[in-house]
Chain A
Amino acid sequence: MSAFHKIIANVKSALERAPRVPPPHAPAAGAIVPVTHDARRTELISQFARELEAVGGTFLGVFSPDESKSRIVALAREIGARNAAVGAGVTLDTGAIVRALEQSGVAVIQSGANSDAERAAFRERLANCDLGIVEADAAIASTGTLAVIGTPDRPNSLTLLPPANLILVHADRMRPDLAAAIAGIGAATFVTNRVALITGPSRTADIEKMIVLGVHGPKKLYALAVWPNEA
């Protein structure tokens, strides 16, 4: 072995002892584009799940529309929810979820406030309910974020007042990063609707920079990805 090769070998083994630092402008981990559409969706969902868990959220898994109903009912039972508030779906039929919950004995609160008196009453019920369930318009894989668009039958308070939240997201609504998610929602929607990007449970670090979950918003955040039934 020549002196040069020996040095190279030494350098190589020296480098192997410490973890590799990525080159300054390498693409972000997980940004490798898989070949098929399904592989791409799977990749994004798993990245999303990792990031969500890193900020204190819980990823329940990927389910078909039918399976997700029973998973939701099971979650309500696990956390001992007596009642739940359900917002109108974006792509999903939340009517089926409502029926499944009611059959299992969970009282369901659905929105429908037109007068001021109704508004106050509905808000009071939301503030006292155990679980808020809503479908996100999109999810961001790189940060574990859920983008929820407020509408009359999917009010923002749903992701704010209850102590626990379950946010559903359709597998096709996974976006790689923030820029893609915001572009996907589109400027027109930001003008007309209140939009919230939610990254984990409500939290604070105001006491000695120590992280505490559940300040003003939900303490628990669950997410569930729905994989469509395909022919």
Chain B
Amino acid sequence: MAAANAAPEPDFFETSRKGAADADLRRKLENSTGRHLEHVAHSRAEFPRYDDERDAARRIKEDAIGRLDELLVELKQKLEANGCSVFVAADAAEARDYILKVASDAGAQRVVKGKSMTTEEIDLNPALERAGMEVVETDLGEYIVQLRGERPSHIITPAIHLSKEDIGKLFAEKLGIAYTAEPEALTAAARDRLRSIFLGAELGITGVNFAIAETGTLVLIENEGNGRLSSTLPETFIAVMGIEKVIPKLADLPHFLEILARTGTGQKLTTYTNFVSGPRREGELDGPRAMHVVILDNGRSTMLADPVMREALYCLRCGACLNVCPVYRRIGGHAYNSTYPGPIGSIVSPNLFGSAAAQLPFASTLCGACRDICPVKIDIPRILLHLRWKEGLARPPIKWPADARRARTGVMRFARMARHPRTMRLLGRIGGLILRPFARDGYLRRMPGPFKNWTRWGRDFPAPRARRKTGGHP
């Protein structure tokens, strides 16, 4: 699997601490995620059928994932009948090898990529670059993080961790344009640069949002037009999809389209919804001469086999759960050290990347905001608890940092104590006696000893009341 890189595994405890301490990052995240949530609330409010469509979409996913075997067979047959070459890859290495072979057979020098988290998942770009190809990400956000030598920090807004000033400086340095922080001007500069690259690329690679088994049609959703260009201009086109992207029928699609953009970006529909079924036909100007579809398992069938995990495969990758997550909004996407950050990433990553992501299910307050916003109602908190339970049985166990260990021991001791009412009452009384002298107007504003962390950041605590001799309350 993806653990092939020899680089030392980044430690989630360290990266999340770093993210949480970065006040600047927090401001940027609050800004962007807040704006997104406003758009979503607005677009949902004006669409009364929203919840019905969610239910319909979920039912279709339940059905599709429940008979994934037959649907994948049907999809492969139909795609091949439409003139595509289909390769089913068991893991990331198989997918990379196939794509590398297609790329070198096509004599590709320059590769343009539409936005695709699946190709991030399989670490495709470094593999193509090692083979001597120039790989250019063409989604504006992906282009920005590629220029910075970073990974996307969000599944639909890759550069969410950067301000327009950050991007202005980056473009001034890397593209040699005069510094500007105007999104309009920055976008125009990227467009100019990328247009000529598009016209000269031999290979285009994109992800897939939905694959319709009935017709053998791939559906690509985007706003910028780079996905359309990547699948239209180069002579060779490769689409990379996870096995869970298949839906049975064309008539199922509207149910997903009606909810996906509304939750993902707050739009009614994304600017472009592209339907591609095969290579170009006789006499056509557009479309590749050869079209390949890579269908990737890479740990997904393990999720399918687990009855609790299975519903994670319904995910449409809309990214909304990241934006509502109080943990994601504090630590940012890079802290997760995974292609898929946030609540859904905390579920998917341990299955795709193994022990490297074992801590992620613990990075949640279980508040349930992710479940509420999910367009297909995935019960993310339930799956997180399930994964925590599984991790508790795993060997070797997670190496928790010292303060987390102390907190765990403390909570466990408290739990033991709470099971003994008499001890609890006694300790409560002693605690009250100790704390009462510190109280002002019925509140503790500063607490001594191990409790000082509670009040250190301006929090107060109600002072324990003087105990009456004959309390009716036990």
Which residue numbers of A lie inside 8 Å of B, CB to CB?
Answer: 22-29, 51, 55, 111, 113-114, 119, 122-124, 127, 142-145, 150-152, 155-157, 160, 177-179, 182-183, 187, 190-192, 194-210, 212, 214-217
Q: Which residue of A lies closest to B52 (CB)?
A: A25
Question: Contacts A208-B183, A216-B225: A182 and B194 contacting too (C-beta < 8 A)?
Answer: no
In the assembly, what is the distance between CA of A200 and CA of B233, in Å?
A: 22
Tell me, yes or no, whether B88 is within 8 Å of chain A by CB.
Answer: no
Query: What chain A residues lie within 8 Å of B199 (beta carbons)?
Result: 123-124, 127
In the assembly, what is the distance between CA of A183 and CA of B82, in Å?
A: 20
Chain B residues numbered 177-216 whose CB sits less than 8 Å from any CB in chain A: 183-184, 186-188, 190-191, 194-195, 198-199, 212, 214-216
User: Which of the four size classes fits the interface of chain B?
Assistant: 35 or more
Tell me, yes or no, whether B355 is within 8 Å of chain A by CB.
Answer: no
Q: List 5 A-B contacts (CB under 8 A).
A: A143-B268, A145-B269, A150-B286, A197-B272, A216-B191
Which of B1-9, B133-141, B308-316 is the interface stretch? B133-141
In the assembly, what is the distance between CA of A27 and CA of B352, in Å?
A: 42
Query: What chain B residues lie within 8 Å of A208 (beta carbons)?
Result: 28, 31-32, 35, 163-164, 183
Question: Contacts A196-B228, A196-B272: A204 and B140 contacting too (C-beta < 8 A)?
Answer: yes
Q: Are B233 and A123 in contact (CB under 8 A)?
A: yes
Which of B274-282, B339-347, B379-387, B403-411 is the interface stretch? B274-282
Q: Are A196 and B273 in contact (CB under 8 A)?
A: yes
Q: Are B226 and A191 in contact (CB under 8 A)?
A: no
Q: Are B225 and A28 in contact (CB under 8 A)?
A: no
- Complex partner residue of B187 from A111, A197, A215, CB under 8 angstroms: A215
Q: Are B258 and A178 in contact (CB under 8 A)?
A: yes
Q: Which residue of A lies closest to B181 (CB)?
A: A207
In the assembly, what is the distance between CA of A141 and CA of B283, in Å?
A: 33
Query: What chain B residues lie within 8 Å of A144 (beta carbons)?
Result: 268
Shortest Cβ distance from residue A135 to the other chain B in the assembled complex, whole angstroms: 17
Q: Which residue of B lies closest to A211 (CB)?
A: B183
Q: Are A202 and B32 in contact (CB under 8 A)?
A: no
Q: Which 6 A-B pairs have the closest CB atoms?
A: A217-B225, A206-B141, A216-B225, A197-B273, A215-B224, A155-B285
Q: Are B272 and A209 in contact (CB under 8 A)?
A: no
Query: What chain A residues lie within 8 Å of B78 (beta carbons)?
Result: 191
Which of B65-73, B248-256, B359-367, B446-454 is the interface stretch? B248-256
Shortest Cβ distance from residue B3 to the other chain A in the assembled complex, whole angstroms: 30
- Complex partner residue of B140 from A192, A196, A198, A206, CB under 8 angstroms: A206
Q: Are B183 and A210 in contact (CB under 8 A)?
A: yes
